[in-house]
Structure 1
Amino acid sequence: MSALESATIQCPYCWETLEISVDPSAEDQEYVEDCQVCCQPILIHAVFEEDRQLRVTATAENE
């Protein structure tokens, strides 16, 4: 089992900086996670590039 990787995102609603954990076993994943501050749903898109670099985007779920 792979260890989770940390990433920092910014909430698209309250602009708070948040720390999330991403499972590296899936190269391309999309899921919804509630903001830890304002509780709004954030659409997270995480991609592990060929060189295993993690790229994460966070957008409002209703965009």
Structure 2
Amino acid sequence: MFEHFFQCPYCWEEISVLLDPSVSRQTYIEDCEVCCRPIEFQVAFEEGELVEFQASDIEQ
């Protein structure tokens, strides 16, 4: 597992997520551990290295 730190698109707090480098491309939704709002993650790995990370708010 790979720990990655980023800023929540809602509350702007710095938080971390655990990413699985064995899956080359991933898109999933997880709640912010501070404000509990849903964040959409788009993640890509190449040869075990993180090459793309995007954390976006979900407009409802």
TM-score normalised by length of structure 1: 0.83
Do 1:7 and 1:20's aligned partners in 2 also have CA atoms closer than 8 Å? yes
The residue aligned with 2:49 is 53
Do 1:32 and 1:61's aligned partners in 2 also have CA atoms closer than 8 Å? no
The 5 A counterparts of 1:19-38 are 19-38=16-35
Identity %: 41
Q: CA RMSD in A?
A: 1.5
Question: Which of 17, 39, 42 is 2:39 aligned to?
Answer: 42
- What are structure 2's unaligned runs of at least 5 residues? none
After superposing on structure 2, the runs of 4+ consecutive aligned residues of structure 1 that deviate more than 3 Å are none
The residue aligned with 1:15 is 12
The residue aligned with 1:6 is 3
